[in-house]
Amino acid sequence: MLSFDKYQGLGNDFILFDCVHNELPVPNPAQIRRLCDRRFGVGGDGILLFERASDPAASRMVYFNADGGRAETCFNGLCCIALHTVRTSVAAPFSNFIIATDAGNVKAAVNIEAGLVEVELPGPEFKPDLIPTTADSENFELPLVNNRYVKGTTLSLGNPHFIEYRSEDNLDDLNRRVLDVGAEVERHPFFPRGMNFEAAFKVDDEDILMAVWERGVGRTLACGSGAAASVCAGVRRNILPANRPVKVRMTGGDLTVAIEADFSRVKIIGEAKWVFAGQVSL
């Protein structure tokens, strides 16, 4: 039997295996799909491996989507890894520490009493070949079946995103939008490694609504990198101002995002919570 911890951030939930304090095999894709199944397994949007890292990083995150595919990063997963880093005394509360990921190193700090995590990381990449996309521009109309299209902005925050700003002023309609086109956007030929899709609405300069379809998972209640990507796209298109915190309101809760005017850094502040611990057989 393998020990695990269940974490969630804004309803984005994860099964965490602590490979620092336990000898654990890495689950294969079929095992990951079974573990993440909400009827036949523990249930989760993905798997987090908490690993030892070399200096200067305090810990390392390896992330797998619910479909078994390894992803470059996951911001809500990072918040949960940061909380676990503090809960297991690998780093001290309220200190700044580094978490290593497949997308590079990020800076984190945890207010364990408030259950809030601050994560700071490099800003977005807009070059199509680095996202990657076969489109020749960051802003374009993505053709779908039945003469439909999605007009949006594509960028990478270590993982790829395609963001559409819409006129619907409520989360129910935005969630219907991602359910309607999300799977098709994710697997579109323009995106050779798949794509996360966000539908957003600007409330004002400091407040947006957002729904998300996550690559390898489907519609989720929240997505930290999707929230950050939506703000980055909004600033890039002059929909939102730079250098001002923006509250991103999602079905699972709210996340605060701030980006530098030159897009050099992105900072997010959100919740992370330990839910329970258990044991499972692969």
Pairing mode, strands 104-111 and 57-65: unpaired
**19 in catalytic set:** no
Beta-bridge mates of residue 6: 15, 276
**CATH code (residue 224):** 3.10.310.10
Q: What is the pTM of this model?
A: 0.91
Answer yes or no: do 207 and 132 share one domain: yes
Answer yes or no: do 113 and 182 share one domain: no
Answer yes or no: do 87 and 194 share one domain: no
Closest Cα to residue 146, out of 101, 184, 193?
184
CB distance 72 to 194 below 8 Å:
no
Active-site residue among 36, 79, 223, 232? 223
Answer yes or no: do 44 and 132 share one domain: no
Indicate the number of domains in the chain. 2
Answer yes or no: do 133 and 259 share one domain: yes
Burial readout 234-261 (b: 16 or more C-beta within 10 A, e: otherwise): bbbeebbebeeebbbbbbbbebbbbbee
Answer yes or no: do 103 and 164 share one domain: no
C-alpha distances out from residue 193 to 72, 187, 276, Å? 11, 8, 33
**223 in catalytic set:** yes
Beta-bridge mates of residue 4: 278
Active-site residue among 74, 79, 80, 232? 74
CB distance 196 to 178 below 8 Å:
no
Q: What's the domain range around 166?
A: 128-263
Q: pLDDT 10s digit of each residue in the chain, 282 long?
A: 899 999 999 999 999 999 999 888 889 999 999 999 999 999 999 999 999 998 899 999 999 999 999 999 999 999 999 999 999 999 999 899 999 999 999 999 999 888 899 999 899 999 999 999 999 999 999 999 999 999 999 999 999 999 999 999 999 999 999 999 999 999 999 999 999 999 999 999 999 999 999 999 999 999 999 999 999 999 999 999 988 999 999 999 999 999 998 999 999 999 999 999 999 988
Answer yes or no: do 75 and 186 share one domain: no
